[in-house]
Structure 1
């Protein structure tokens, strides 16, 4: 990838980082788990996008327990949105977040517990994206995250509700979906359990060595 194409891919893109869940399966606040270099899991995830020049909006819940996390992230100049509908699930969070932003050509919907993406994976997805399509990564024949929605789908995202998220939009708009094969297991590795966290640390350690 050359510099010009990377720059063009990032233009008019915004990451909605979904971080308002209660992490019931993990048993504690997984967002604050230390991953590497004293970074919390959520910080590591955010840095994946900021390091390649993509704007990030972190979608937190309106619960009081997220107050200190918001303060910590804002101290690092990370923009946050407190979502009153986060208790509904991912669909409610997405709808409220999409309604709060302006028009964008490419909206990257990302999960806060997925900090093992390779930079080239994110850039490749954005290079395949435009305002008219939905782009997602595939690794080992499995669909992963993040998913890039063209701007034309913003009105539909604003209508979402419940805990299913945007998966039904992919089903309803299959003809506009673009699957991109990537050599990156990080697109499948979200941290739902302590065992997932162990796998994540193992993958990051293997890459660093």
Structure 2
């Protein structure tokens, strides 16, 4: 059951995992699944369409990308997350969705209920994000109104500029889900 037929998921997974020490996308979770594959399974379970941004030289199959997930290649991925995000939004802009859930490839611990709740609150004019214990988490859902601006992002700040420029559009949802804050910056975070 998908959270909303009106929201598409874009998973960002083109980084170099420098703090992790190796390619964390291929790192194995206790159940044997790769970190990226687990995140994509979560996204597919909750959104009608899922796309993942990878580097131009990545082998999607080796990273565990399931069939049915659209692969978007970012040739400028090494220049920062802004470039990856811009590349993904540019490809998906023609799709008929009211919002896009921007997910990080190292966050498979988000509860399905949280994703459904966020998607149900998405709208073309909103920027929706989860709050847990007062902290803003992921994913961030950007209404269609912001997609054109997101296509101009550069550098390593992701969508920070869009968020800062449109504070009036923020719609924070309190969730009882530490998974919205949990990512895997080190191998110890996988257990």
Could you tell me the TM-score, scaled by structure 1's length? Answer: 0.85
Structure 1: which 5+ runs fail to align? 1-5, 202-209
State the partner residue of 1:81.
72
SS in 2 for 1:10: coil
Which residue, 149, 155, 158 being the options, matches 1:162?
A: 155
Q: 1:195 to 1:37 in 2, by over 3 A?
A: closer
The structure with the largest alpha-carbon Rg is 1
Q: How far off is 1:11 after superposition?
A: 1.3
Q: Which is helix-richer, 1 or 2?
A: 1
Inter-partner Cα distance in structure 2 for 1:185 and 1:167: 22
Alpha-carbon deviations, 1:145-166, whole Å to 9, x = none? 0000001100010011000010
Whether the aligned pair in 2 keeps the contact of 1:126 and 1:148 (CA below 8 Å) is yes
Structure 1 position 47 matched with structure 2 position 41: yes
Instruction: Report the equivalent of 1:24.
Output: 18
Residue pairs, 1:1-209, within 5 angstroms:
9-62=3-56, 64=57, 66-67=58-59, 69-70=60-61, 73=64, 76-101=67-92, 102-103=94-95, 104-197=97-190, 201=191
Distance 1:42 1:74 in 2: 7
CA offsets 1:79-136 (integer angstroms, 9 cap, x no match): 2111112111110111111111214211010000001000000000011111110000
How many pairs does the alignment contain? 189
Q: Is the 8 A contact 2:36 2:64 kept in 1?
A: no
Equivalent-residue separation in structure 1 for 2:138 and 2:47 (angstroms): 19
Distance in 1 of aligned mates of 2:62 and 2:29: 20
Q: Secondary structure at the match of 1:60?
A: strand
Partners of 1:162 and 1:191 in 2: CA distance: 21
- Structure 1 stretches of at least 4 aligned residues deviating more than 6 Å after TM superposition: none
> Which is worse superposed, 9-18 or 39-48?
9-18
- CA spacing shift, 1:91–1:175, aligned 2, 3 Å: same
Provide the aligned C-alpha RMSD in A.
Answer: 1.7
- Structure 2 gaps of 5+ residues are none
